[in-house]
Chain A
Amino acid sequence: MTRAVGCPASESLEAYLAGDSVEGVREHLEHCTACQTAIERLQREQARFLKEFPPQRFMARVEQHRRSLRPPVWQGIGAATLAIAAALAVIFVLPRNDSGPPPMALKGPTFVVLRKSASMSEPEPAGRERPLRPGDAVRFAYQAPRDGYVAVINRDGTGAVSAFVPFHGSDALPWKAGDQALPGAVELDDARGAEWMILIFSDRPFALAPILAQVQQTPLDRTPAVSCASCLVETLHLPKEP
């Protein structure tokens, strides 16, 4: 990508236009007519865009989309919810298609995925008997063996990989041994096929990009491979039905 010497990246100019604090851009614009011209063009295009797609229209589409999904009211994970998970004690996992090791069965609520649909009053642990469904709100609970850092990576049935905890984050979350409910809830889309939920715990901070790459590079018919130094990895393969 060609860029004049001394000029900031186009993304930096765009961030400046939007009002973000971007070091050095204001000073640069004082003496660079090319970048000033670029900013002015972006301003004109932005004004045209907001005239064609005004905020009221956008908000109306958002409300329409939300009504169509009927998002569940999440009551929050409390001790009662984890008690349900504890009572179940075993989380079932789909058998794999390859000739590898037998399916995993985790005992005890170390890593739990809780699902809640619009029609449910209480969340329940997801599993073979309780498949995930499109539109479900899922939350995660994890009992760490000690203080450290945690992340949850998802690979859906189409192979799309993303960080669920922290959501679209770049680094693992600090996590205390006594904490249980991971922050945030994720609403599942309509991608078909079972969902892999992969929890990674480490004593040390770690970036998510290398983990995402490893999961992405694992063939779809294989268990996502995650390898990181001094990490604990717990993997759940959860069925998903329409």
Chain B
Amino acid sequence: MADSLRELYERYGYLVFRRCHALLRHRADAEDAMQEVFMRADRYGRRHEGSTLSWLYTIATHVCFDAARRRGRAEPTAPSHLTLVDARSEGTADDGDVRALVGRALRELDPVTCEMGVLHHLGGFTQEEVAERTGYSRKTVGRKLEAFDAVLRQRTEVLS
């Protein structure tokens, strides 16, 4: 079991840490969350169709969602620094700002909306792809992403 956990970490550790950091915006918390993700994955085994990374990302979203709600700590970040703290520098500067704020939304929205927001803004999936992955209609996904984006806009306004 230890060998498989080690192998899991070697293959997916960086990506899971990166996702946790994107959600929690705190290095030490992200490392704790990453560890928790792998311990849960090792303990309960895989019962998920699709890629192993998608399964680990699902667990990471739940771990980080729970951690964000328990933590309840706001880390003020000036708007001019938002793109600098983004882990990836992909897409436009606006995309970077959005990704930097995704984790903030975890405390304010339900798990389904959060999962869709994470898939869209961090996973890079289109609304159609999010609908396919979550089993919800394209219309419902659109509505929930609007709610997610409204929280992000509100956060941006608070910071500006």
Report A's interface with B, CB cutoff 8 A: 1-3, 9-12, 14-15, 17-22, 38, 42, 45-46, 49-50, 53, 55, 58-59, 61-62, 65, 158-162, 166-170, 184, 186-187, 189, 191, 207, 209-210, 212-213, 216-217
Q: A210 — nearest CB in chain B belongs to which residue? A: B112
In the complex, how many residue pairs between chain A and chain B have their CB atoms under 8 Å apart? 137
Contacting pair B58 A168 (CB below 8 A)? yes
Contacting pair B12 A216 (CB below 8 A)? no
Place the interface of chain B in its size category.
35 or more
**B77 at the A interface (CB under 8 A):** no
Q: Known: A1-B95, A9-B129, A10-B123. Contact between A65 and B53, CB under 8 A?
A: no
Contacts of B58 in A (CB 8 A): 168, 170
Known: A15-B54, A158-B66. 20 other contacts (CB 8 A): A1-B120, A2-B95, A3-B91, A3-B126, A9-B124, A11-B125, A18-B11, A42-B14, A45-B14, A45-B18, A46-B14, A50-B10, A58-B9, A59-B5, A59-B6, A62-B39, A159-B69, A162-B111, A167-B40, A170-B135
Report the bound CA distance from A55 to B51 in whole Å: 22
The residue in A184, A187, A207, A213 that gathers the most chain B C-beta atoms within 10 A of its C-beta is: A213
Shortest A187–chain B CB gap in Å is 7
Contacting pair B11 A19 (CB below 8 A)? yes
Contacts of A2 in B (CB 8 A): 91-92, 95
Contacts of A216 in B (CB 8 A): 110-112
